[in-house]
Amino acid sequence: MARPTGKPNYGRVVLVSCLALLAAGLVADFLWASSHRFSSVGMSLPSSVTTVIGQLPPNSNGKDTEKKKDKVRERKLSATFQDLAAPQLKWEKMAAAPVPRLDGAAIQIRNFLYVFAGYGTIDIVHSHVDIYNFVDNTWGGRFDMPKEMAHSHLGMVTDGRYIYIVTGQYGPQCRGPTAKTFVLDTDTNSWSDFVPLPVPRYAPATQLWRGRLHVMGGSKENRHTPGLEHWSIGVKDGKAMEKEWRSEIPIPRGGPHRACAVVDDRLFVIGGQEGDFMAKPGSPIFKCSRRMEVVFSDVYMLDEEMKWKVMPSMPKPDSHIEFAWKVVNNSIVIVGGTTEKHPETKKMVLVGEIFQFNLNTMKWYVIGKLPYRVKTTLVGYWEGQLYFTSGQRDKGPDDPAPRKVMADMWRTKLILNP
C-alpha cells in the first residue's frame, strides 16, 4: 500500500501532542471541578471557565506545532464530542405529553407507553403516570404514583403485565435515593409494595432475567459514587418468591444512567457514566452542584456462565439512556443521550443520533439523526415506527449543551441494518 511521503513521523507527533493536550485538559478539569458549580441541572456554567486545552503544550515553540495542535484538536473533537455522521430521517411530530419530563421512566406494554415521574423543573417533580396509546396516538389515563415512590432515576422493568419499580431519587433538586420498591399491575392500575433494595440506589440498571429481578450498578446515596453491587430476587406475577435480595456477581463498572436489556436469554448493560451532580453540602434544598462525571461507551453481557463479558463498544460514549432503548428484530436501538463534556466549555454535551446494536452481527451502527440532541428520552416502537418523547434538548443546532425540558412526542420509520 502506498503511504503519503514527507511526514513519516506524523503519527508520533500526534501521539505526543495528544498526551500533552490530555494532561492540560486534566489540569483544566481539576481546576474547574474545584472552583465552579452548577446551580441546577442543565443550567449553564459561569462564563469565566478557563480553557487550558486551547493553549500550547509547554514544549512547543513554532508554527508547525500550532498547526498540528489544531489538527489534533479537530480529531479529538470529532472522535467523541461532535455529532457523528448519520442518515437524515423524516420525523413526524405527534401529540405532546401532558407534562414535560426529565429523568422520567417509561415502559411499553403492547400499544401503551406508560410514562412515569420525572422532573418538570429542577424544583418540581411529578408523582403520576401518563399513558400514550400508539393505536390512536393520544395521551390519557393519568393516575397517581404511591406517595413514597421515587420521582426520578428509577430502575424499572416489566414482564408484560406487572411493572417492577426499584429505588430511585426521592424529591427534587439533588436529593438522594430511597430503597423503596413497588409493583404496578397494569391490568388494574393498582400498586403494591415490594421487598426494599438492601440499600438505596440512584438510577441502577434493572432487568428481569430467568425469573429473577436484577438490579445493578447505579450511584450510591450521594448520587455520585458508583456502586458495583448487583442483587437479584426471584419474582412471579408481581410477587417476590424470596424474602431477601441475593448478592450476584458485581458489575465490572458501576454508575448510573445505563441501558439494560435482555435479548435471547442474555443480559446487556450499555453505556452510562461514573459520577453525577450532588447536593451542595449543607444546602437545605439539596441544591444540585456539578461534579465530574466520566461517560463511557462500554457494553457488558451476562449469559448462562454468569460472568461479565465485554462486548463491542458504542460508537461514542453515551449516558442518560436508561429508558431510551427498544429491542427490535434482535437489535437494541438507542435514542440520544449525553456524551463526554465539551473539552473547552466543560458543559454537558447531548447526543443527537440513534444507534443500533445488531445482535446477529454484534456490530454497532449510527442509523439516524434526531430532530435535536436530547437526553433521557422515553422510547417506544409500534408497527414500524420508532417513537420518543420527553427529555432535555440542546440549545440549538450549534450548541449541544442542555436547555429545555420537553414534552414533545416524535416518530419516524425505523430503518435497521440487517
Ligand X SMILES: *[C@@H]1O[C@H](CO)[C@@H](O)[C@H](O)[C@H]1NC(C)=O
Positions that interact with ligand X (CB under 6 A) = 328-329, 384, 414, 416
Using CB atoms within 10 A of its CB, is residue 244 exposed (0-12), middle (13-18) or buried (19+)? Answer: exposed
Q: How far is the CB of 416 from ligand X (least distance, A)?
A: 4
**Gap between the Cα atoms of 360 and 356, Å rounded:** 11
Q: Please choose, from the candidates 407, 412, 393, 398, the residue with its C-alpha nearest in 3D space to the C-alpha of residue 337.
A: 393
- By beta-carbon proximity to ligand X, the closer residue of 95 and 327 is 327
- By beta-carbon proximity to ligand X, the closer residue of 180 and 411 is 411
Torsion angle (degrees, nearest 10) of CA 74, 372, 219, 204? -130
Helices 63-76 and 10-35 meet at what angle, rounded to 10? Answer: 70
**Gap between the Cα atoms of 98 and 116, Å rounded:** 12
Q: How far is CA 51 from the centre of its chain?
A: 27
- By beta-carbon proximity to ligand X, the closer residue of 348 and 414 is 414
- By beta-carbon proximity to ligand X, the closer residue of 165 and 414 is 414
Q: How far is the CB of 412 from ligand X (least distance, A)?
A: 11
Q: What is the CA radius of gyration of the chain?
A: 22
Q: How far is the CB of 208 from ligand X (least distance, A)?
A: 23
Residue given cell 442542555 in the structure block: 402
- By beta-carbon proximity to ligand X, the closer residue of 205 and 367 is 367
- By beta-carbon proximity to ligand X, the closer residue of 294 and 416 is 416
- Which distant-in-sequence residues (6+ apart) come within 8 Å of 70 by Cβ? none
Q: How far is the CB of 350 from ligand X (least distance, A)?
A: 25
- By beta-carbon proximity to ligand X, the closer residue of 263 and 416 is 416
Q: How far is the CB of 268 from ligand X (least distance, A)?
A: 19
Q: Please choose, from the candidates 292, 172, 295, 308, the residue with its C-alpha nearest in 3D space to the C-alpha of residue 248.
A: 308
Q: Which residue is nearest to ligand X (CB)?
A: 329
Q: What single letter denotes the amino acid at residue 406?
A: M
Q: How far is the CB of 113 from ligand X (least distance, A)?
A: 18
Q: How far is the CB of 354 from ligand X (least distance, A)?
A: 12
- By beta-carbon proximity to ligand X, the closer residue of 129 and 414 is 414
Query: How does DSSP assign 125-151, residue by residue?
Result: E--EEEEEETTTTEEEEEEEPPTTS-S
Angle at the Cα of 26 from the Cα atoms of 23 and 28, rounded to 5 degrees: 110
Residue given cell 440499600 in the structure block: 199
Q: How far is the CB of 331 from ligand X (least distance, A)?
A: 8
